[in-house]
C-alpha cells in the first residue's frame, strides 16, 4: 500500500490524503481504516478480519500522518499517549493574512455542537466547553498573484492577498480545534468553508483551494513495545503548499 510510511508487528504509520475519511460507516466511501484492513487481510492470506486499532483521527478534508495499532496491547498504550498529550502532533497550515505575532500560544474553551458538526469558542466554565491549547510559529508569508485577480469580481486589495505558512503544535485534541482557534485568532485556514472568513473564502475560491489547507506533517510518540521515541515526517502535498517549498 503506497501510503504506508512504516510498519512492524505492532503498528502501522500511514499518510492520509485530503478528502479521505479516517473511518466511516458510509457505504461506497473510502476510508483509511477499511483500506488498511483490506491490506492486512491480503497480507495475512485472508484468514478472518484483521485487528486494526484506531488511535487518533484527522478530519476528512485534512491530510497527514496517522498511527494505527495492530494488536490490543499496542492500541491501549498508544491511546494513553494520545489522551494525555504525550503524542507530539505537528501541522503545517496555510492561513489567510499575516500572523499578528511570529509565534504564540492559543488557549480557548471550545464547545462542540454535535447536530451542526461544528465547534465554537465559548467562555470558560460554559457547560460542555473544553479547554483547547495549541502553539504556532509563522514560517513564511507570500503574496498571491493569480490571473484574474485584477478583475472586478476580485475585490480584495493587495494587502489582503497575503497568505502565510504556519507550523502548529497541537497540545489538546478537540473537535476541529486548529480550524476554530486559528480562525478565532484572525488567521482562518484557506479552503475552510466552515470556519473561514468571507475574505478567506473569497481568496480560496479565486485560487481554487477546495480542501482545508492543513497537513499533519510530523508525529512523535513512544513505540508501544520498545518504548523508544520515534518520529515520522512527510511533507505536505497539494498545490496550496507548493509555493512554500522547500519546507524548513
Residues 6+ apart with CB under 8 A from 118: 112, 176, 194
Cα dist. 11→75, 161, 170 in Å?
9, 43, 22
Q: Quick one: CA dihedral 93, 172, 102, 230, positive or negative?
A: negative
CA distance 142 to 162: 6
Per-residue pLDDT at 43: 83
Per-residue pLDDT at 101: 92
Rounded to a whole number, what is the largest CA-CA distance in the chain? Answer: 62
pLDDT along the chain (248 residues), means of 10: 93 96 82 94 78 95 97 97 95 94 96 94 95 97 67 55 95 96 97 95 90 97 97 94 91
Per-residue pLDDT at 146: 60
Per-residue pLDDT at 149: 44
Strands 88-96 and 11-16: unpaired
pTM score, whole prediction: 0.91
DSSP state of 152: T
HSE-CB of 30 using CA atoms within 13 angstroms: 10
* Grid coordinates given for 207: 485560487
DSSP string, 167-217: EEEE-S--TTHHHHHHHHTT-PBTT-TTT--HHHHHHHHHHT--S-SEEEE
Per-residue pLDDT at 171: 96
Per-residue pLDDT at 45: 64
Amino acid at each position: 500500500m503506497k501510503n504506508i510510511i512504516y510498519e512492524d508487528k505492532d503498528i502501522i504509520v500511514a499518510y492520509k490524503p485530503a478528502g479521505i475519511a479516517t473511518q466511516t460507516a458510509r457505504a461506497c466511501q473510502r476510508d483509511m481504516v477499511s483500506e488498511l484492513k483490506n491490506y492486512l487481510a491480503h497480507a495475512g492470506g485472508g484468514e478472518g478480519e484483521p485487528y486494526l486499532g484506531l488511535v487518533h483521527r484527522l478530519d476528512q478534508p485534512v491530510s497527514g500522518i496517522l498511527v494505527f495499532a495492530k494488536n490490543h496491547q499496542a492500541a491501549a498504550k498508544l491511546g494513553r499517549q494520545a489522551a494525555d498529550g504525550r503524542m507530539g502532533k505537528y501541522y503545517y497550515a496555510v492561513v489567510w493574512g499575516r500572523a499578528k505575532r511570529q509565534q504564540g500560544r492559543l488557549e480557548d474553551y471550545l464547545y462542540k455542537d454535535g447536530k451542526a458538526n461544528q465547534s465554537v469558542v465559548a467562555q470558560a466554565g460554559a457547560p460542555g466547553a473544553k479547554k483547547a491549547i495549541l502553539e504556532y510559529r509563522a514560517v513564511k508569508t507570500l503574496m498571491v498573484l493569480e490571473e484574474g485577480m485584477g478583475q472586478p469580481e476580485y475585490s480584495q486589495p493587495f494587502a489582503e492577498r497575503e497568505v502565510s505558512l504556519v507550523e502548529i503544535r497541537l497540545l489538546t485534541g478537540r473537535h476541529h480545534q486548529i480550524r476554530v482557534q486559528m480562525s478565532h485568532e484572525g488567521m482562518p485556514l484557506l479552503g475552510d468553508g466552515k470556519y473561514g472568513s468571507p475574505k478567506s473564502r473569497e481568496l480560496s475560491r479565486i485560487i481554487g483551494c477546495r480542501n482545508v489547507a492543513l497537513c499533519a506533517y510530523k508525529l512523535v510518540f513512544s513505540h508501544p513495545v520498545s518504548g523508544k521515541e520515534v518520529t515520522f515526517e512527510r511533507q505536505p502535498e497539494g498545490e496550496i503548499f507548493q509555493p512554500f517549498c522547500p519546507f524548513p
